[in-house]
Structure 1
Amino acid sequence: MTDELVRFDRLTTQDGGCIAVATLNSPRTLNSLSLEMARQLDTQLQQWAEDPSVHLVWLDGDGDKAFCAGGDVVALVRALKDEQQGAGQPGDFAREYFSMEYRLDYRLHTFPKPVVVWADGIVMGGGLGLMAGSRHRVVTETSRIAMPEITIGLYPDIGASWFLNRLPSGIGAYLGLTGANLNARDVLDLGLADRFVPRANRQALLERLTQSDIVPGTVDDAEAAVVAALAEFEDRSRAPAGQVDEWRDHLQSLAQQATVSAAVTAILADDTDNSWLAANRARLEAGCPLSAHLAWQMLARHRHTSLADAFREELVVSVQCCVLGDFAEGVRALLIDKDKSPRWRHAEVASVSEADLAAMFGVPWGTQAGPLDDL
């Protein structure tokens, strides 16, 4: 079927087992992750985890432009508008959507078999959540990775509160505040990707994997087969020149501040003549002040927590971004009306009050069990 939101295939391996393939199938939306796509993928992964004939999972996106450009934020805003007009409780759809997305991401992080993600083209927001959770993160010369949530009134979620803390000091904060665009070399240098394979070698790599002889149910055997195939096709000499490594000391000097206000002031005051740094400054300057606080606070709060704890609190904050924050306005300005003139609730980072920030951490379901308490 050509209208499937996610295509599922099985490629037979030499030993009679298979490689399970999941392809996000919405190229028109750059494979943005909808609620139903997340549900289908999560359900299939559960089945593949228990199927002894499945040696490993291959995850990619249809088309030549994007693996996944993020979550379906337009659907979130439209649902919120309907809820505000009486079709449900405001935030109901957001809770359902983010719960499903984060549960899927967590499943990938904890999946018992090798998962290879082909992160070709655009990988943003929710796409990075899928990529970050996979065991073998493969990038190509066209990979373009970012978490630009500050432009839509959100913050780096999908587990980023946890995994950005594992980058060199200050770098996670800089990326979260500026929504900086990264290329394949950058994410390799930062440990956000594992392998570089030229995009022209995708099919050859898959065919090489099908030639593997793996003892059914033996994860070490499957892992060895994946490592060997990736090593055969990796060619980092063809990766683009990086940006982050060249400027690492400079980025750390800007972001290693005591407060978010100080970090934002330092970044915006930087007059270094470099187009990448200038674009990052411009994105922060036009971005949502409340989002800057949330990005900073979530990194601080989850410096030493578990991944599951990070997902649980991200669910709270993401729902509140929809109900109390600037998310709907940010998406309206960037993706619906496309006037690129969001009317943020706060004029600048310094004007965000402690009360406004604290409200974003208020648990919407009160003392009831949370949707992700079982992680």
Structure 2
Amino acid sequence: MHDSTLLETVKIEERDCPGGMKLGVITLDAPKSLHALTLEMIRAIDGALLAWADDGQIACVVLQSSTDKAFCAGGDVRSLRTAVFDAPGVVPNPQALAFFADEYRLDHRIHTYVKPLLVWGGGIVMGGGLGLMAGASHKVVTESTRIAMPEITIGLFPDVGGSWFLGRMPGRTGLFLGLTGAAMNAADALFVGLGDYFLQQEARAMVLDALALAQWQADPQANHQQLDRLLRGLSSPSSLLPESPVRANYDAIATLTQAPTLSEVVAAIAAYDGESAWLQKAAHSLARGAPSSAALVWAMRARTRHLSLAQVFQLELIVAVQCCAHPDFAEGVRALLIDKDNAPQWRPSSLSELDDTYLNEYFQAPWAQHPLADLA
């Protein structure tokens, strides 16, 4: 068995399987930050996937973390904020551009990976962590899974392909989740398409052992079917699933988001006075969130409706680097993660102050040649 550590925060391992095949295992190992992604981690993961795609001995890939508490809590937004201040007025910020471009390239690779790719999504899965998980061919959720795209709290928007997978959720649930950053459990993930299999967190080691003993073939499609059969055979009964707040409140979400304008939808959610604590919390998050982020969620929903996956990532890159050039991102990270006063001063402070001219700035490409132009 070949075992090598490329970085302290990402471990790359190949496990021998019967018949001369191998299992590729990538383990995020930065527990203090809940495995938040740095640029170096992104490049290590992408490098392994790229190499294994061309390695005939690698039959299946597993992406996991070293702890049960979290798979990945998102991107390293603290460092991004520092980079913005280190290069004031520079658009695109070179560090932000490198981070987002490489992250989206990795996420796109996961979505289009030919070989079976299993992501073990136990614990916290937020932001950039969901970018790693959403496109995987086989997504495992557990009783500890807690998923969210809470970018509205930091003046960003649901990126990492969020514009793609939110728009493909049932009804208008993707719009609601994007606007509110509401948390989801395993049952929610299965309902909206962010999870495929429900297993107990304690079964992870057993699953990895079973994968290492499986009779893999050279045919990727046969291996996809093999992994599916294995995971279905080890899945926990649905009776162990928690109640899904998204499914339980599906009709209420449809009613709250049915208006034709963003301002009306935001007002309806904010005015919610029902008994659901989950909806109450979601409404509170939206009310405290960045108006610019809400506007971007609404605009991206419309602009990406008929785009390909590659085009979605290309547009998200433009918007992400522009978010770093506008004040709300730095202010949101300050209020939530640095000073932790939870009192961000958004600019603009309300949707009524946000006009089309300002919003359109987020969609202006700050380059002549798109860094992700080669995605297909």
Q: TM-score range by the shorter chain?
A: over 0.9
| Aligned residue number for residue 224 of structure 1 | 225
Contact 1:198 1:238 in 2 (8 A): no
Q: Distance in 1 between matches of 2:136 and 2:208?
A: 17
| Aligned residue number for residue 369 of structure 1 | 369
Contact 2:153 2:290 in 1 (8 A): yes
Tell me how far 1:2 sits from its aligned partner: 9.8
1:20 and 2:24 correspond = yes
Q: Distance in 2 between matches of 1:359 and 1:72?
A: 24
1:143-197 Cα distance to aligned partner (Å, 9 max, x none): 0000000000001111111111111221111000000000000110111110001
1:324-362 Cα distance to aligned partner (Å, 9 max, x none): 241011001101111111110022122211111011111
Q: CA RMSD in A?
A: 1.3
Please point out which of 195, 205, 213 is paired with 1:211: 213
Q: Distance in 2 between matches of 1:2 and 1:241?
A: 40
Q: Distance in 1 between matches of 2:316 and 2:177?
A: 17
1:278 and 2:280 correspond = yes
Q: TM-score, normalised to structure 2's length?
A: 0.96
Summarize the alignment of residues 182-193 of structure 1 with structure 2, pairs less than 5 Å apart. 182-193=184-195
Summarize the alignment of residues 29-48 of structure 1 with structure 2, pairs less than 5 Å apart. 29-48=33-52
Contact 2:42 2:106 in 1 (8 A): yes
1:257-304 Cα distance to aligned partner (Å, 9 max, x none): 211111101100111122111110110000000000001100111111
Secondary structure of the 1:60 match is strand
1:38-92 Cα distance to aligned partner (Å, 9 max, x none): 01111111000000000010000122210000011001001111112x9x76611
Contact 2:68 2:201 in 1 (8 A): no
What runs of 5+ residues in structure 1 fail to find an aligned partner? none
Q: TM-score, normalised to structure 1's length?
A: 0.96
Q: Distance in 1 between matches of 2:348 and 2:295?
A: 11
Tell me how far 1:224 sits from its aligned partner: 2.2
Please point out which of 46, 53, 63 is paired with 1:49: 53
Contact 1:138 1:195 in 2 (8 A): yes
Contact 1:330 1:342 in 2 (8 A): yes
Please point out which of 113, 128, 134 is paired with 1:111: 113
What runs of 5+ residues in structure 2 fail to find an aligned partner? none
Please point out which of 307, 316, 321 is paired with 2:318: 316
Q: How many residues align?
A: 370
Q: Distance in 1 between matches of 2:94 and 2:202?
A: 43
Letter in 2 for 1:183: N
1:198-227 Cα distance to aligned partner (Å, 9 max, x none): 011111111111121122x21122112201
**Higher mean C-alpha displacement, 340-349 vs 310-319:** 340-349
Contact 2:163 2:301 in 1 (8 A): yes
| Aligned residue number for residue 73 of structure 1 | 77
Letter in 2 for 1:223: H
Contact 1:80 1:90 in 2 (8 A): no
**Over 4 Å off, 4+ runs:** none
Q: Distance in 2 between matches of 1:5 and 1:207?
A: 23
